[in-house]
Amino acid sequence: MRLLLDENVPRKLKQDVPGHYVCTVRELQQHGNEDQTILQFLVDFNFDALITCDKNLRFQQNLSRYPTPIIVLDTHTNAYPVLRAVIPQLLAVLEAPLPAGATIIRP
């Protein structure tokens, strides 16, 4: 699966998602872009999902315009040690077909 980590997700998280092609927004020189631009980038470059910590993205953007799933890591902070706690849930979500729109993962 081709996954894109939003700029608010620590790049260290890449190592916790084995078996998937994972890039960061920064690596692809898309950091600083508007959410709308990132969402269109996902579609244009055939990514299977965006992983983000932006809890408001689903309220700020019309996600129905984009067929690519968005996985929201809904934790109290985006610090790497906190996010590691939801990795088992993330991996389980990635094993099933992902629906378009937002999939929320909470601890």
pLDDT by 10-residue block (mean), the chain, 107 residues: 97 96 93 91 96 94 92 97 97 95 95
Give residue 29's pLDDT: 87
Residue 22 structural domain = 2-105
Q: Cα dist. 55→28, 42, 60, 77 in Å? A: 22, 18, 10, 11
Give residue 31's pLDDT: 84
* CATH number reported for the structural domain that contains residue 22 in this entry: 3.40.50
Domain count of the chain? 1
